[in-house]
Amino acid sequence: MLKGIPNILPPALLKALCEMGHGDTLVLADGNFPVATVGKNAVVVRMDGHGIPEILDAILQLFPLDTYVDRPVGRMQVVPGDKVATPIWDAYDTILEKHDARGADMVEEIERFAFYERAKGAYLMIATGEQALYANLLLQKGVVTD
Supply angle C-alpha 116, 120, 126, rounded to 5.
90
**Catalytic hit among 30, 57, 66, 92:** 66
Torsions phi, psi for 103 (to 5 deg): 50, -135
User: How many other CB atoms are found less than 10 A from the CB of residue 144?
Assistant: 9
Torsion from C-alpha of 51, 57, 60, 66, nearest 10 degrees: 70
Torsions phi, psi for 53 (to 5 deg): -55, -45
* Half-sphere exposure at residue 132, Cβ-oriented, CA atoms within 13 angstroms: 21
Q: Are 77 and 115 in contact (CB under 8 A)?
A: yes
- How, if at all, do strands 137-140 and 25-29 pair? antiparallel
Specify whether 48 is catalytic: no
Specify whether 50 is catalytic: no
Specify whether 116 is catalytic: yes
**Catalytic hit among 24, 99, 100, 116:** 116
Q: Which residues are tagged catalytic?
A: 22, 66, 116
